[in-house]
């Protein structure tokens, strides 16, 4: 156990979607289908004041995990502790308090703003719901937040409807709504994916400032490893509903210990046109969260697969200081094999 204070801790968290759960399906009464194991046994501990990065294959369950953490999905199994209180069982007043503390920036800025709300009303709504401040204070706070996320002049944007905004502008409206309550924990699901690099830098600067000044803890979901490396203290890599590697940001990117992380790092495009990346191509079938392979989930596509990999699901191995990876290569039985999988990355150091 580390000496750090834990902010958000999950134990063996699972979220399965069952078929015919959506009402649409029920309406059309489609035949049975198996469960989608979107999150399947996740453990981690996000520390107070930390930026925790989460990356992984598209569809591996990152958004589902983030939403389950905020109690927006009912978890199938496992427990979630926020400031050491179990949030899966809380109701009433505790839940309301939690909703002011923990906020979500949603992935899709086109779907996540009510088209009938003006920007001003949308950003102000959290304050209304929790009846915070006087009317003037709320107005000031909203305008200030809009300014901070770079929607300037704030007055001009305040009266717009979301349909009149560009993708990046909407994304910033979503960020403003999440920040207006001054939360202590933030799930940021691809918060800057539609921002140009310069605006992105200023939003990241803002998040960094909040972290330093107010101790904001963030779960930062992104596909952009360069961004995570730049922003986060630690990074976790997810694959098919499970965390396969976790470690300090720089260390994990520079020296990945799981073959999937390695493939991710090597697939990250680089800006310098002179450098040819050595990509690790992932072969094999598309992963399917419905029919999981027995043994290691990455085995069907892993370039380093061995016979043992198919036998049982690997546990997390300690691979370096504070770094763990879910790969049998790190088992003592394989100590003689080439454990260092970090060979093919395109980094310069």
Partner 1 sequence: MLNIENLHAHYHTDEGTDVHAVDGVDLEVGSNETLGLVGESGCGKTTLAKALIRLLPTNGEIVDGSVNFKETDLTELSDEELRKQIRWTEISMIPQNAMNSLDPVHTVGAQIVQAIRTHEDCSKEEAWNRTRELFEELGLDENRVKDYPHQFSGGMAQRAAIALALCLEPALILADEPTTALDVVVQDQILTMVSELQDEIDSSMIMITHDMSVVSETCDKIAVMYGGNVAEYADSETIIKNPRHPYTLGMRNAFPDISKDTQELISIPGSPPDLIEPEEGCKFAPRCPFAQDECREVTPEPEEFEEGHVVRCHRADEVEYLQEEASKRETWAEMKDDQGDLISATDGGTDE
Partner 2 sequence: MSFSDILNRGGSDTPSGVGIGQRIREAFQSTVDLFSGERMGQFGVFLLITFILLAMTAPLLAPYNPDTRHEAEDGSLLRLAEPSGDHLLGTNHEGQDVLSQVLYGTQVSVFVGLFAALIAVFIGTNVGLITAYYGGLVDDILMRLVDIAYGLPFLPFVIVLVFIFGADLFNIVLVIAALLWRDSARVVRAEVLTQKERDYVESAEAIGASDFRILYRHILPNVLPIAFLYIAFAIAYAVIFEASIAFLGYGDPELISWGKMLYQAYTFGAIRFAWWWVIPPGILLMFLVSSVFFIGRTLEKFTNPELRH
Ligand X SMILES: Nc1ncnc2c1ncn2[C@@H]1O[C@H](COP(=O)(O)OP(=O)(O)OP(=O)(O)O)[C@@H](O)[C@H]1O
82/298 with CB nearer partner 2: 82
Site string for Mg ion, 242-261 (x = CB under 5 A): --------------------
Nearest alpha-carbon partner for 35 in 69, 61, 55:
61
Site for partner 1 in 102-131 (CB under 8 A): 107-108, 110-111
Q: Which 8-state DSSP code applies to residue 75?
A: -
Q: Tell me if 2 contacts partner 2 by CB under 8 A.
A: no
Distance CA 37, CA 290 (A): 6
Q: Tell me if 332 contacts partner 1 by CB under 8 A.
A: no
| Min separation Cβ 217 and partner 2, Å | 16
69/280 with CB nearer ligand X: 69
Residue holding tokens 């926020």?
A: 82
| Min separation Cβ 169 and partner 1, Å | 5
- Do 78 and 10 form a contact (C-beta atoms < 8 A)? yes
- Do 42 and 243 form a contact (C-beta atoms < 8 A)? yes
Site string for partner 1, 142-171 (x = CB under 8 A): -xx--xx-x-xxxx-------xxxxxxx-x
Q: Tell me if 167 contacts Mg ion by CB under 5 A.
A: yes
- When CB distances are held under 5 to 8 angstroms depending on the partner's kind, the choice from partner 1, ligand X, Mg ion, none that residue 111 binds is partner 1
- Do 261 and 244 form a contact (C-beta atoms < 8 A)? yes
Separate counts of helices (H) and strands (E) for the chain: 11, 12
Nearest alpha-carbon partner for 184 in 123, 98, 106:
98
- When CB distances are held under 5 to 8 angstroms depending on the partner's kind, the choice from partner 2, partner 1, Mg ion, none that residue 118 binds is partner 2
Which residues does residue 247 pair with via DSSP β-bridges, in sequence order?
235
Token couple for 39: 């999150």
| Min separation Cβ 324 and partner 2, Å | 30
Q: Tell me if 96 contacts partner 2 by CB under 8 A.
A: yes
Token couple for 332: 């003592």
194/243 with CB nearer partner 2: 194
- Helix/strand/coil for 134: coil
- When CB distances are held under 5 to 8 angstroms depending on the partner's kind, the choice from Mg ion, ligand X, partner 1, none that residue 263 binds is partner 1
Instruction: Judge if the upstream peptide bond of residue 41 is cis by omega within 30 degrees of 0.
Output: no
- Do 149 and 192 form a contact (C-beta atoms < 8 A)? no
Site for partner 2 in 24-63 (CB under 8 A): 24, 27
Find the binder of Mg ion among 38, 54, 55, 63 (CB under 5 A): 63
172/297 with CB nearer partner 1: 172
177/234 with CB nearer partner 2: 177
- Helix/strand/coil for 149: coil
Site for partner 2 in 131-160 (CB under 8 A): 131, 134-136, 139, 142-143, 155, 158-159
Strand 234-239, strand 51-56: pairing: parallel
Site for Mg ion in 278-317 (CB under 5 A): none
93/281 with CB nearer partner 1: 281
Q: Tell me if 92 contacts partner 1 by CB under 8 A.
A: no
Q: Tell me if 107 contacts Mg ion by CB under 5 A.
A: yes
Distance CA 123, CA 132 (A): 13
Order across the sheet with 6-17: list the strands: 36-47, 6-17, 77-82, 85-86
| Min separation Cβ 166 and Mg ion, Å | 5
Q: Tell me if 91 contacts partner 2 by CB under 8 A.
A: no
């Amino acid at each position: 156990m580390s000496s750090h204070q834990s902010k958000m801790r999950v134990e063996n968290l699972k979220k399965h979607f069952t078929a015919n759960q959506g009402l649409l399906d029920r309406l059309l009464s489609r035949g049975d289908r198996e469960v989608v194991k979107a999150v399947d046994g996740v453990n981690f501990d996000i520390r107070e004041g930390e930026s925790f990065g989460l990356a992984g294959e598209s569809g591996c369950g990152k958004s589902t995990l983030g939403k389950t953490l905020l109690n927006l999905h009912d978890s199938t199994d496992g427990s979630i502790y926020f400031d050491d209180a179990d949030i899966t069982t809380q109701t009433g007043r505790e839940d309301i308090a939690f909703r002011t503390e923990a906020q979500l920036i949603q992935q899709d800025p086109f779907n996540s703003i009510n088209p009938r709300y003006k920007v001003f009303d949308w950003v102000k709504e959290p304050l209304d719901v929790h009846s915070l401040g006087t009317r003037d204070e709320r107005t000031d706070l909203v305008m200030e937040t809009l300014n901070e996320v770079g929607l300037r002049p704030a007055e001009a944007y305040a009266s717009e409807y979301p349909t009149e905004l560009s993708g990046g502008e909407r994304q910033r409206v979503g960020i403003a709504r999440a920040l207006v309550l001054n939360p202590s924990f933030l799930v940021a699901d691809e918060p800057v994916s539609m921002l140009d690099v310069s605006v992105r830098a200023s939003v990241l600067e803002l998040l960094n400032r909040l972290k330093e000044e107010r101790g904001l803890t963030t779960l930062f979901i992104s596909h952009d490893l360069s961004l995570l490396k730049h922003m986060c203290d630690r990074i976790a890599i997810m694959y098919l509903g499970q965390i396969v590697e976790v470690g300090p940001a720089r260390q994990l990117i520079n020296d990945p210990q799981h073959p999937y992380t390695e493939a991710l790092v090597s697939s990250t495009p680089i800006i310098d046109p002179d450098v040819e990346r050595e990509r690790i191509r992932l072969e094999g079938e598309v992963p399917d969260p419905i029919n999981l392979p027995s043994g290691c989930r990455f085995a069907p596509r892993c370039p380093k697969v061995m016979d043992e990999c198919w036998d049982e699901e690997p546990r997390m191995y300690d691979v370096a200081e504070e770094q763990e990876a879910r790969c049998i290569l790190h088992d003592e039985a394989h100590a003689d094999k080439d454990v260092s999988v970090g060979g093919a990355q395109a980094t310069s150091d």
